[in-house]
């Protein structure tokens, strides 16, 4: 249950950061910031920069299979996918794949993608950004 709460909190944090109800106003109609209640959610949520980006990803056997290179946020303001890079050295020949964010679970201090292997990730279609 804690794993699902973490994902829900992260989605709420992103929502609050990107499109929450505003607290301040500028020029009478433009709004900025978040409410006091939203600030409480932000304060206890995950930080993409500190807690997710660059974090190693492990499988159920505690084998490192990749690292989180990016997070994709949909236009609906929800974290939908983690871009996980596997293989390569210093980013050269790295194979990036999109993984639904809900499939990553925090187990202790590690991000775990249950049932995955490096070879399994390399077999998935390579993720490439549109231009």
DSSP H stretches of helix in 20-67: 36-44
User: Do 71 and 95 reside in the same domain of the chain?
Assistant: yes
User: Do 117 and 60 reside in the same domain of the chain?
Assistant: yes
User: Do 104 and 61 reside in the same domain of the chain?
Assistant: yes
Q: Is residue 9's pLDDT more than 70?
A: no
Distance CA 125, CA 96 (A): 8
Q: Is residue 58's pLDDT more than 90?
A: yes
- Cβ contacts of 81-86, under 8 Å, gap ≥ 24: 82/52, 83/127, 84/57, 84/113, 84/121, 86/118, 86/121, 86/122
Q: Is residue 44's pLDDT more than 70?
A: yes
User: Do 99 and 64 reside in the same domain of the chain?
Assistant: yes
pLDDT interval class at 90 (50, 70, 90)? low
User: Do 35 and 59 reside in the same domain of the chain?
Assistant: no
Q: Is residue 10's pLDDT more than 80?
A: no
The pLDDT, as a whole number, for residue 30 is: 54
Distance CA 62, CA 120 (A): 15
Total of domains in the chain: 2
Tokens of 80: 């939908």
pLDDT interval class at 12 (50, 70, 90)? very low
Q: State the average pLDDT over residues 20-44.
A: 64
Range of the domain at 9: 1-46
- What average pLDDT does the structure give for the chain? 76
Is pTM beyond 0.75? Reply is: no
């Amino acid at each position: 249950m804690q794993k699902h709460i973490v994902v829900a909190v992260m989605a709420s944090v992103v929502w609050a950061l990107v499109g929450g109800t505003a607290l301040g106003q500028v020029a009478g109609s433009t709004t900025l910031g978040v409410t006091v209640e939203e600030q409480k959610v932000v304060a206890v949520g995950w930080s993409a920069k500190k807690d997710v980006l660059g974090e190693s990803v492990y499988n159920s056997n505690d084998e490192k299979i990749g690292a989180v290179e990016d997070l994709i946020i949909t236009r609906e303001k929800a974290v939908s996918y983690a871009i996980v890079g596997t293989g390569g050295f210093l980013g050269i020949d790295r194979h990036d794949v999109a993984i639904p964010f809900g499939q990553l679970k925090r187990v202790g201090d590690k991000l775990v993608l249950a049932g995955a292997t490096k070879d399994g990730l390399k077999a998935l279609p390579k993720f490439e950004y549109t231009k």
